[in-house]
């Protein structure tokens, strides 16, 4: 698989994994569209990538606003004609117990982490099918594999991604549509800074576990390699991935461990 000449749209691309995906797709010769709600940070990312490629374009929009997501998808299709690869990477995390989290926060996280990608997928899928090719990369989380303290809404949204995208793949795999779902563990990004507390405010600190995680560059490299191999379900991370295996094969041990591991 070669991405030279392909049009790749990446959400959550102002920093972290998204910015590294943009860099590595650009290095392969792709036309890259980077998106975020943070206009200044997004433009700074574009400038940093100029030495790699001049074919990088910014599209600013808010994943938490469904109408804005719909109108942006139409705008991108009209302006660029096609999107060959959609990387649904944007999202927000959580640091609060379910009992303290209002439904408003639950819905906000679900809107950003789940529904925004669903809207973009439904908007772009018909054109992908018409073109006979489309690849949708989905950034879930190992929290999408099991429940975890302080992550109830986040884990719910990440679980939902699996049900939706596995169904989309089953319906469209014979039409040239590829789906790859990624479940990162601890990646050294600023996701914990922006995670929502029970009052809706940002967590504002780097979790120690994330600080010791793998780099966004390494994560992005593994993601693109997996897509080239047309893999469907990909775990990325370090020793924390053992929890996925334990949850699948040894439920009693998982239930014992989940109350003892650090939630950060």
Give the residue numbers marked as catalytic: 154
**β pairing state of 31-36 and 56-60:** parallel
Query: Residue 44 in contact with residue 22, Cβ under 8 Å?
Result: no
CA-nearest of 20, 28, 112 to 66 is 112
Q: Give the phi and the psi of residue 181 in degrees, each rounded to 5.
A: -105, 125
How many CB atoms within 10 Å of residue 231? Answer: 15
**Separation of alpha carbons 10 and 227, rounded Å:** 14
- In order of 110, 118, 137, 187, the CA distances from 161 in angstroms are 10, 9, 11, 19
Residue 82 makes CB contacts below 8 A (sequence gap 6+) with 7, 127, 128, 131
């Amino acid at each position: 698989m070669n991405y030279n000449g392909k049009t790749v749209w990446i959400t959550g691309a102002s920093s972290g994994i998204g910015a590294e995906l943009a860099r590595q797709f650009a290095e392969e010769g792709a036309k890259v569209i980077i998106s975020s709600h943070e206009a200044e940070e997004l433009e700074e990312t574009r400038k940093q990538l100029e030495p790699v490629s001049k074919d990088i374009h910014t599209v600013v929009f808010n994943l938490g606003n469904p109408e804005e997501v719909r109108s942006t998808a139409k705008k991108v299709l009209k302006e660029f004609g096609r999107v060959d690869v959609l990387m649904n990477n944007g999202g927000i995390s959580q640091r609060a117990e379910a009992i303290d989290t209002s439904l408003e926060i639950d819905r906000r996280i679900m809107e950003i982490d789940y529904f925004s990608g669903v809207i973009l997928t439904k908007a772009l899928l018909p054109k992908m099918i018409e073109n006979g090719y489309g690849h949708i990369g989905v950034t879930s989380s190992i929290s999408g594999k099991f429940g975890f303290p302080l992550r109830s809404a986040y884990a719910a949204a990440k679980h939902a991604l699996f049900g939706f995208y596995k169904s989309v793949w089953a319906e469209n795999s014979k039409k040239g549509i590829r789906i790859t779902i990624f479940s990162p563990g601890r990646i050294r990004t600023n996701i914990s800074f922006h995670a929502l507390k029970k009052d809706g405010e940002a967590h504002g600190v780097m979790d120690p576990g994330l600080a010791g995680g793998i780099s966004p560059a390494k994560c992005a490299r593994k993601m693109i390699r997996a897509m080239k191999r047309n893999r469907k379900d990909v775990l990325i991370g370090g020793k924390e991935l053992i929890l996925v295996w334990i949850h699948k094969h040894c439920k009693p041990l998982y239930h014992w461990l989940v109350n003892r591991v650090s939630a950060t």
